[in-house]
Structure 1
Amino acid sequence: MAYVDQGMTGSKATSLIISIAIVAGIGLAMVIGLAVDAVKKEIERVTTVDVTEEEPPPPEEEPPPPEEVPDTAPPPPVAPPPPINISPAPPDIQVQDTIPPPAPPARIIPPPAPAAPPAPPPAPPSQARGATTKNERRWASRISNDYPSRALREEVEGTVGVRVTVGANGRATSCNVTSSSGSSVLDQAACRGMQRYSRFNPALDDAGNPTTGSYSTRITYRLN
């Protein structure tokens, strides 16, 4: 403004301002014209796109009717046939003209027999024996001489067979008549005399211990 005030007059300044305004207006008009052209082109492009008619969508297809299910039951399942095994061809049979001799039988060796158990020690010899008489002649004479008085009166004679049981002490404990004399008096006298007068060596068992035994004899009664 200082330059305008110094070098120019008021009319020149006005002319300059007007010139500048004109130039500015022309530039502004050009800019606005360009902008308007660009807007028109854009509007035409948009209008062209929008005006195009869209094709109507195709009509929807109706769903097929449901299949009718028959009332009859379905057929039962059929099992597949079993597989067939085809065996291979049998091997060729070889025929030999000569028959080989049979193999020798296997030799079976029996196991050794178990060792025999040791033999038991020999048993000691048995010491068993029956009862034997002791001083038989003496006591037999006493029995025969002890003649029953009734048998003497009746003059009865006879021989009585007796069997006595001998205890471990060597004495006759019981007596049985094995052969009767025919007189009960003589039979009873014989057993009574054996139990009273007879003496024995007792019987022995295997170990040599005295045990019960028996002895048989005959007593004869005779009148003098």
Structure 2
Amino acid sequence: MTPGPAQSRRRPNWRVIALVVGFHLLAFAGLIRAFAPDLTAQAIDRMTAIVTVDVAEPDPPHPKAEPPAEQESGASGDPGKEAVPQEVAAPKPAITRAPVEPKPVAASTGTATRSGAAEQGDGTGAAGEGDGTGSGDGGNGPGAGVSRGLVKIAGNITSARDYPRETRDLRRGHDVIIELRVGADGRVTRCDVLDPSPDPAADAITCDLAQQRFRFEPALDGAGRPIPGRFRWRQTWY
């Protein structure tokens, strides 16, 4: 017999279905508990082991820098003394002294026929000058036809050490004039005192030194031949 439309349209009973499914699940769970009691715990451990959550802890907050403690201000010092202006004297101008020119020592000046010298030594000093002329044998003054007079070329008396210290006060500030006879070879052959000083010993020494030290170029006559001559020398002590 074919069912009617009313029977084919009957709705399923979901409560019955849920009860049946729940019964089967309980029965299945009971079997698992009976035959494999550790299976449930292992499944739970695996499920929890798979899911791992890393929780990062936040960094601790940086401590705030504490403001520096205010230093206690020290007690104020005693008030300074009032400055009192003082007069300042203007600097004195530097005194400039004129340079002192040193006296010439052992200097020699003069022309070809005149020579002077001076030297300061122990005791009084000495200086001399002279001039000379040519003359014929035994003549006085320039000879006829003389082309050149005597020329002193060497020797001087300039040191106070040449004279004795004992008589220096006698001759200091004085002079002596001597006359030298010079041969054709330029050497002194004779010395005469023409104007003596207060110190005769010093006059004699002057003549001796002149004969020993002085050398001349002889006078020449008109033909250019050397001839004898005379030379006067003034020795001064100071």
TM-score band w.r.t. shorter chain: 0.3 to 0.5
- Tell me which structure has the larger Cα radius of gyration: 1
TM-score, normalised to structure 2, is: 0.35
Higher relative helix content: 1
Higher relative strand content: 2
